[in-house]
Structure 1
Amino acid sequence: MTDLIPRRARIWARGGLALACTAVLAVTGLPGLQGTAYAAKGKRCDEIYQSAKGAPQGTSFPWNKASDSVRDKSSWDTYDFDAPRQAFDGLTLPSDPAQQEEFLKQFDSDYEKYPENTKERVYARYKNYLTRDPQNTKYGTFEKWLSDAYILPNNNNRRGAFYEEKVVKDLGLVGPDWLCQEEIPILDKDGKPVIDPKTNKPLVRKFDAVNYRTNDFLEFKAGGGRDTTQDLANRTFLQDPQRKDARLTYVFGEEKKSATTKYLAKVNSEVGSDPANPRVRSYEHRSTGVPVSRFDPNTSKPDPYMNTGAKQPSGGAARNIEGSMPTPKDMAERMARIRAEDPTGLRVRGPGGVDFSTLQLSYVGKPVKGQALNYAFAAKKADEDEENVGWGGQEKAQLISDSFFTWLALTPDKFWVNLMPDQPDRIMDPAFGRTDAGRVLLQADLEMKHDWARDVDPRQGTGKKLWEAMQAEGLDCGPIERNWIVPLPARIRADENGVYILDAPLKVNSEAAVTTAHNPNGDCSLTEAQTHTFERLVREIVVPGIEHKVNTAPAYADLRRVYSARVAAEYVRQQDQQEATDYRSVINSNDVSGWPLRGANKGWTPRQTWEEYVKSFTQGDYSYPCGNDGRICVVGGVDFSQSPKQDIGATEFTAKHKDLPRSAQTSVKAMTDKADSDDLLLLGGGGPADTGPTPTPTPTDTPTPTATPTSTPTPTPTSTSTGTPTGTPTPTPTTAPSTPAATPAGDDGASPSPAPAGGSSGRGSGGGGSLASTGTDVLPLAGAAAALLAGGAAIVWWRRRRA
């Protein structure tokens, strides 16, 4: 009995302590609520989101360490969200208004009669819209309505709910202290409800997550923007004296928009924040939302790029590219429609945030027969509020895709262009001349000639410097100069997943040449030594500026796009040598009918560009005064050429681009940030079709709105009497790697042989140039010797000034 007394005493003591605590809470309420009309109305976050069950993280959150923090790149990941309406992005209606009206008669405008997520319901919803807007003035076409009014808003809402669940789970916002979907009446300094001037109702701020014990009030945004309708509530809430210790933290799934950053700074200044401990903070919990839907070949759009004719699902950001309008005006109108449907700023990242003028091919996956080829384009980010961005994406992506197939289809002996004023019959191969890839090469050649003419103006800048250097060397004039572009080793990395195109720079070569065509400035006779001196001066003074333009100027962007496609095509050629792919019937077929000249360039011919050049060569691009006797000297011309590649090796790739493989794989499913470059996005596509069930959202409450390069066969530039090779262009053999890289063993355990270097061995074979081996440890090096080939001449000389 004596042992029981201490036990009973301890039990009663504990019970008394519990009662005391209960009494205190009954008097004071929850921490931070005493003396106010505030009361907890939300539910525990881990009860709303069952997947978030677990131990709470505590209070060591990223925004406590820095007021403007970003999740470490190594942790960036993805989350799936249910997007069932995406499966209907390929639905169409007859374009003829009468036929369209007749087709829609079979559907009732009361769309709720039809099952959700069926094409019948889609058509009925559209008919319902037309009854409210008979002239279809808001969207204009069924396709625009389908994308901007039916699919996109639904995706926006669903993404937000799934991101909210992810943040709660990732950050450990669990336990009794964390409430989600918490609605808080906004009170003024006297404790009275603040009336919303727009609704004339008491203002209520609904936070995604709240912790009254730590005074943390969180708002989750899957994107990088904010809901502007919350601005008044935010400011008033933070100015309430009873909330002087409250902190508002925005958690973003993407990089903050510039307008959002400015807004957060403005609110901090309005509520009297201490700069060392601001009350309004942000944390970018970077994670890409992946829309999940079933691919139906009868209702879904097939992937439009990089893949063979089979109906493969349109994965990743290929959908965003399809939403890019052809002109700035069209794009501005589309963005206005999207904003109207999304007043709270919930929208999924789309083409409005992409500068498509910078679009390049960045990655292609290892081709697998029967599956869509994974790929990723890279482009600079843009603010959706900027003008003249977001448009032109389809045209540029189509150019890359068409060029990719052109490089596969044509045998390497056709990869050349030639602009010589006395060779109208040898401009380019006829088949190559029927493609946009060939057009781009020839037009770039002409563009460089024009640039050369501008840069050698002896009155100023580079031209003046060249003329003064010639005088110092005792040169009376300069010979005709032949210029062409050759790629420097493109930096690539090939691994078991595919090839990453890290950089593909181009180089300008220049040498003296002669031509039989009329020279408008007369003859210039120099000794061999003087000619070499002039060539050196040109390479030192003129070439660097031209080379910079070729690598950076918008006028050459298509050329850079076409070259990146050549790199990818050569990689696929090499993979097809190892094992048959869906591209085997295309490779070396010499059939380019599937990738013709398109759009405004549909009627282009190589002869047109040649005639422009002849006019430039014989009449001069620009006129320059050159002498005291009033004579006028004219100059003109330029040229283009070939391509190589270099694998940077596993060690360097891991050190500098360790997160790129993850980014590339993510981009196959959705637009994402390029982890190794802060200002670039990846827009991918391809991947196997998703035929499984779509995810079901778990939120039960409505979420808050919210090496040595190798070259392909090319005519080798010469300084013969015509300045170009005579006869049919003769291939220049590529150089085999001294130590071929090993490739993974096949299913039978045998190691495939390395790809042969250079040459074409017929349909289905590789050819077109192999890649130098610089340490790849998995696959043959990818890359390509782009046969961007030409012969051309630039008139670069001046007569000595006469006294």
Structure 2
Amino acid sequence: MTTGTDPTPIPHRRRQWRNIALALACTGALTITGLASLQGTAYAAKGKRCDRMYQLNGDESTSLPWDEGITQRSVNDWDSYGFSAPRQALDGLTLPDDPVEQAKILATITKPYKKYPANSRERVLAQYRDYLRKNAQSRKYSTFADWLRYAWIQPNNNNKRGNAFEKKAVGDLGLIGPDWLCQEDVPVLDENGDPVIEDGKPLVRRFDAVNYKTKQFVEFKAGGGYDSKQNLANEKFLADPQRRDARIVYVNGEEKQNSTKNYLDRLAQQAGDDSEGRPRVVSYEHITEGEPEYKPGPYTAADPNLNTGEEPGGAASQVIDGSEETPGEMAAEQQLISEEEGADEAVHGPGGVDFSTLQLSYVGKPVRGQALDYAYSARQVDESAGLGYGGKEKAQLISDSFFTWLALTPDKFWVNLNPDQPDRVMDHTFGKTDAGRVLLQADLQMKHDFAKDLDPRQGIGQQLMDAIRRAGLPCGSVERNWIVPKPAQVRADSNGLYILAAPLQVNSVAATVKTPTPNSCVLSAAQRLTYQTLVRQFIVPDIEQKINTTPQYADLRRVYSARVAAEYVREQDQQQATQYRSIINSNNVAKWPLRGANRTWTPRQTWEAYYKSFTQGDYSYPCGQKVCVLGGVDFSKAPRRNVSRAQFTVQHRNLPRSTKTSARAMTTSADNAQLLLLGGGKLSAGGGGTPTPTPTATSTGKPSASPTHTPSPGHSTPAPGTPGPSTPPEGSGGGNQGGGGGLAATGTEALTLAGIAAALLAVGAALVWRRRRGMHS
């Protein structure tokens, strides 16, 4: 029987299949529509929710920076994070270089290394013993120091740093919730959906974070590198047609190295865009610095920079310790670094620092019994630039000069290259230091540069000669030129002293000397004045540019920055005793002598080189005329420009934060991405270690306002070119005119901007006592 609405009867079996089909259809619809919300876990192989892995709370970010075209984190957000680095506490452990002596010590280590406590001296030596045994025929590391640094400490630090950066980046970026998996193993398939086989095994690409819902596969690197071992997996993964909309994202904790940039550019070009027109390979720099955390112990290396005791080293000493003396040695070291485990996680190393630009940029307020906070600055370069060498020598010069300026009384801060005064080159004690050597050598270098610029056959000298002819002058004259500070910029506050800029300038005046010169021409007073004007117009600007920027004067700039810092410490010690009290004005520089290749240098060598130049000339030309120069380096007066709090905040708002971070981890300056800051002090790992015993005060620490020691009339005359007495030559630019070595009287409270900040460079000016007439340069 049929009904009016259903004329065709449906067999029972057919109705049954229809109901099954409907049920399956509904099930299929539910499965498909519900898949998106399940994908966060449905594809999980070994991965785990990122927030649960790292015990993070919060909400998932609704927008990621690379999706908005942002390639680098805002400088205002740059910060740091800590990571466990217990092995760093043994960076001062040593073994004798002599194989026999070394073997005697290692023979006392008889147990398997795991039988000794973790991170103990015995365990380290046991591991080194095993390394020597396993590599008896050929060894990668020629010394225990290299093995300790590059095979034992650094790989462990890299791994710990990498894990800590991943946790921080996950939290900062909001990779939270069920859709974000960390440490996810993703099978790499071919165009048929079959596993890609590599070395007989299915190829698997482990990503640090994965979101299958948004098809983002993230790789984190704490440094600026990448892991080249993942190149094949990346290529095959992106070639899988089933993942044509997948995007690989590289997130680096530092600015990417050139090799990383080049690789990602090639990979992005090869992968193309997804279906929405977005690049399938993107990168983002989540700038943040990893700070090693460890407790200093008996085998922690001491910081040799600016401090008096056994303070543990911070970022500066650790990085500088890895700087080799020559480019070849540094290249070999870079090779060791790149081959070690976790090298792609490594952050700034010595190879990324141009040590030829190293300067002292900050010192903290000295506190008795605590390490002095400090920060060097240097130009940042790519690790592949072939630099990174010479750091120890440059840092040593700054530190030695800092102590020299503290130890010597200001009446000794002078140099004098004058052909008429062979017995007045420089103070005897000052002449035993690298600070004194640098000043005298810079003086000689300036003379050579003047002579070169005055050459009438080319360049500036030719322009000057044309102007001389137009002015009707028959020749030039003897000139006295000397280096003095330009208005410098500093900022002093409760944190310490920031040395923002300390430029130098050249003063030039006519001079008269008795020593014959190759120039026999005589000018009238009016002609000499005209010539002076032309020299200031054509020559002086170029010499100033050289002094402030070129490598041959870099040591002079380093020494001056140390002088400014030392004068700040002097002033602080006058207010309250510091650990430097026993050093200040002690006139004892035995701990900071001439070093290295310069250890046999004498002031006489430089004077004789100058005398030869003055009397014979650096060059000759057809007309036979010569222009001779003499002068000096005079920091007894230092004009300064005080930086207000408002200006400092606007122009250097991130400098205090970057400086603080640099004590533990070398960091890119948030105010100048071309500069690295590397520091140390009580802010470095471990908090500075055991306080140094309080020194006994031997003086008030207050420099005299003028020279106090005058040689008696009957003193013997030293041999030509030898260091002279403590009093500068008559007519020197120093003396009472410069106010001695003390701080200028500003009438303002200590540590205020108009007081110390500016005064420091004024006092920093007392670097050299110079005569105004007789000194030559």
- TM-score normalised according to structure 1 size: 0.84
- In structure 2, C-alpha distance between the alignment counterparts of 1:494 and 1:563, rounded to whole Å: 17
Give the alignment partner of residue 634 of structure 2, picking from 636, 641, 649.
641
Matched, 1:280 2:281: yes
**Matched residue, 1:338:** 337
Q: Higher helix fraction: Structure 1 or Structure 2?
A: 2
Give the alignment partner of residue 747 of structure 2, picking from 737, 740, 750.
740
**Matched residue, 1:45:** 50
The answer (yes or no) to whether the contact 1:714–1:789 under 8 Å persists in 2 is no
The answer (yes or no) to whether the contact 1:486–1:640 under 8 Å persists in 2 is yes
Q: Deviations over 1:156-205 (max 9, x none)?
A: 01100011111111122111111111100101111111122xx3322111
Q: Which runs of 5+ in 2 are unaligned?
A: 1-23, 688-703, 709-727
After superposition, the Cα gap between the structure-2 partners of 1:344 and 1:473, relative to the gap in structure 1 and judged at 3 Å, is: closer
Query: Which amino acid in the other structure matches residue 641 of structure 1?
Result: D
- In structure 2, C-alpha distance between the alignment counterparts of 1:448 and 1:279, rounded to whole Å: 56
- In structure 2, C-alpha distance between the alignment counterparts of 1:454 and 1:126, rounded to whole Å: 56
Give the alignment partner of residue 564 of structure 2, picking from 542, 552, 567.
567
Give the alignment partner of residue 661 of structure 2, picking from 658, 663, 666.
666
Matched, 1:604 2:606: no
- In structure 2, C-alpha distance between the alignment counterparts of 1:295 and 1:731, rounded to whole Å: 48
Q: Deviations over 1:622-662 (max 9, x none)?
A: 12221xxxx47575666322152433110110011000000
After superposition, the Cα gap between the structure-2 partners of 1:733 and 1:268, relative to the gap in structure 1 and judged at 3 Å, is: closer
**Matched residue, 2:672:** 677
The correspondence of residues 100-179 of structure 1 with structure 2, limited to 5 A, is 100-108=102-110, 110-134=112-136, 137-179=139-181
The answer (yes or no) to whether the contact 2:517–2:628 under 8 Å persists in 1 is no
**Matched residue, 1:268:** 268
After superposition, the Cα gap between the structure-2 partners of 1:364 and 1:24, relative to the gap in structure 1 and judged at 3 Å, is: farther
Q: Secondary structure, in 3 states, of the residue corresponding to 1:622?
A: coil
Give the alignment partner of residue 424 of structure 1, picking from 418, 422, 435.
422
The correspondence of residues 551-630 of structure 1 with structure 2, limited to 5 A, is 551-626=548-623
- In structure 2, C-alpha distance between the alignment counterparts of 1:789 and 1:330, rounded to whole Å: 40
After superposition, the Cα gap between the structure-2 partners of 1:727 and 1:793, relative to the gap in structure 1 and judged at 3 Å, is: closer
- In structure 2, C-alpha distance between the alignment counterparts of 1:271 and 1:688, rounded to whole Å: 46
Q: Secondary structure, in 3 states, of the residue corresponding to 1:732?
A: helix
Q: Secondary structure, in 3 states, of the residue corresponding to 1:174?
A: coil
**Alpha-carbon distance, 1:317 to partner:** 2.8
The correspondence of residues 537-548 of structure 1 with structure 2, limited to 5 A, is 537-548=534-545
Q: Deviations over 1:356-412 (max 9, x none)?
A: 01100111111111110010000011111122x011001000000000011111111
The correspondence of residues 451-490 of structure 1 with structure 2, limited to 5 A, is 451-490=449-488
**Matched residue, 1:291:** 292
The sequence identity of aligned pairs, in percent, is 56
- In structure 1, C-alpha distance between the alignment counterparts of 2:67 and 2:329, rounded to whole Å: 44
- In structure 2, C-alpha distance between the alignment counterparts of 1:136 and 1:637, rounded to whole Å: 58
Q: Deviations over 1:583-631 (max 9, x none)?
A: 11111111111111011111111011001111111111112221xxxx4
**Alpha-carbon distance, 1:689 to partner:** 6.9
- In structure 1, C-alpha distance between the alignment counterparts of 2:379 and 2:501, rounded to whole Å: 15
Give the alignment partner of residue 440 of structure 2, picking from 435, 439, 442.
442
After superposition, the Cα gap between the structure-2 partners of 1:241 and 1:786, relative to the gap in structure 1 and judged at 3 Å, is: farther
Matched, 1:236 2:241: no
- In structure 2, C-alpha distance between the alignment counterparts of 1:575 and 1:56, rounded to whole Å: 49
- In structure 1, C-alpha distance between the alignment counterparts of 2:326 and 2:549, rounded to whole Å: 23
The answer (yes or no) to whether the contact 1:55–1:172 under 8 Å persists in 2 is yes
**Matched residue, 1:181:** 183
After superposition, the Cα gap between the structure-2 partners of 1:690 and 1:661, relative to the gap in structure 1 and judged at 3 Å, is: closer
**Matched residue, 2:713:** none
The answer (yes or no) to whether the contact 1:414–1:432 under 8 Å persists in 2 is yes
- In structure 2, C-alpha distance between the alignment counterparts of 1:151 and 1:107, rounded to whole Å: 20
Query: Which amino acid in the other structure matches residue 652 of structure 1?
Result: Q
The correspondence of residues 517-532 of structure 1 with structure 2, limited to 5 A, is 517-522=515-520, 524-532=521-529
- In structure 2, C-alpha distance between the alignment counterparts of 1:403 and 1:232, rounded to whole Å: 53
The answer (yes or no) to whether the contact 1:447–1:638 under 8 Å persists in 2 is no
After superposition, the Cα gap between the structure-2 partners of 1:344 and 1:270, relative to the gap in structure 1 and judged at 3 Å, is: farther
- TM-score normalised according to structure 2 size: 0.87
After superposition, the Cα gap between the structure-2 partners of 1:244 and 1:448, relative to the gap in structure 1 and judged at 3 Å, is: same
**Alpha-carbon distance, 1:303 to partner:** 0.8
- In structure 1, C-alpha distance between the alignment counterparts of 2:303 and 2:149, rounded to whole Å: 16
- In structure 2, C-alpha distance between the alignment counterparts of 1:538 and 1:581, rounded to whole Å: 47
Query: Which amino acid in the other structure matches residue 468 of structure 1?
Result: D
Query: Which amino acid in the other structure matches residue 65 of structure 2?
Result: P
**Matched residue, 1:768:** none
**Matched residue, 2:649:** 654
- In structure 2, C-alpha distance between the alignment counterparts of 1:680 and 1:20, rounded to whole Å: 64
Query: Which amino acid in the other structure matches residue 95 of structure 1?
Result: D
**Matched residue, 2:81:** 79
**Alpha-carbon distance, 1:733 to partner:** 4.0
Q: Deviations over 1:407-439 (max 9, x none)?
A: 111111111100001211100011110000000
Query: Which amino acid in the other structure matches residue 676 of structure 1?
Result: D
- In structure 1, C-alpha distance between the alignment counterparts of 2:389 and 2:121, rounded to whole Å: 29
Structure 1 residue ranges, 4+ long, deviating more than 4 angstroms after superposition: 19-30, 37-40, 631-638, 688-692, 711-715, 735-739, 771-776, 779-783, 789-796
Give the alignment partner of residue 88 of structure 1, picking from 75, 87, 90.
90
Query: Which amino acid in the other structure matches residue 451 of structure 2?
Result: A
After superposition, the Cα gap between the structure-2 partners of 1:384 and 1:439, relative to the gap in structure 1 and judged at 3 Å, is: same
Q: Deviations over 1:514-543 (max 9, x none)?
A: 111121222x32222221111111001110
**Matched residue, 1:323:** 322
Give the alignment partner of residue 687 of structure 1, picking from 659, 662, 682.
682
Query: Which amino acid in the other structure matches residue 182 of structure 1?
Result: E
- In structure 1, C-alpha distance between the alignment counterparts of 2:176 and 2:296, rounded to whole Å: 36
Q: Secondary structure, in 3 states, of the residue corresponding to 2:370?
A: coil
Query: Which amino acid in the other structure matches residue 175 of structure 2?
Result: L
Aligned length: 713
- In structure 2, C-alpha distance between the alignment counterparts of 1:689 and 1:70, rounded to whole Å: 27
- In structure 1, C-alpha distance between the alignment counterparts of 2:744 and 2:412, rounded to whole Å: 24
The answer (yes or no) to whether the contact 2:478–2:630 under 8 Å persists in 1 is no
Give the alignment partner of residue 726 of structure 1, picking from 719, 730, 736.
730
Query: Which amino acid in the other structure matches residue 665 of structure 1?
Result: K
- In structure 2, C-alpha distance between the alignment counterparts of 1:437 and 1:20, rounded to whole Å: 88
- In structure 1, C-alpha distance between the alignment counterparts of 2:580 and 2:549, rounded to whole Å: 32
Q: Secondary structure, in 3 states, of the residue corresponding to 1:364?
A: strand
The answer (yes or no) to whether the contact 1:91–1:299 under 8 Å persists in 2 is yes
**Alpha-carbon distance, 1:234 to partner:** 1.3
After superposition, the Cα gap between the structure-2 partners of 1:369 and 1:561, relative to the gap in structure 1 and judged at 3 Å, is: same
Q: Which runs of 5+ in 1 are unaligned?
A: 1-18, 693-710, 716-723, 745-753, 755-770, 797-803
The correspondence of residues 744-783 of structure 1 with structure 2, limited to 5 A, is 773=755
**Alpha-carbon distance, 1:58 to partner:** 2.9
After superposition, the Cα gap between the structure-2 partners of 1:433 and 1:21, relative to the gap in structure 1 and judged at 3 Å, is: farther
Query: Which amino acid in the other structure matches residue 63 of structure 1?
Result: W
After superposition, the Cα gap between the structure-2 partners of 1:774 and 1:567, relative to the gap in structure 1 and judged at 3 Å, is: closer
**Alpha-carbon distance, 1:91 to partner:** 0.7
The answer (yes or no) to whether the contact 1:490–1:783 under 8 Å persists in 2 is no
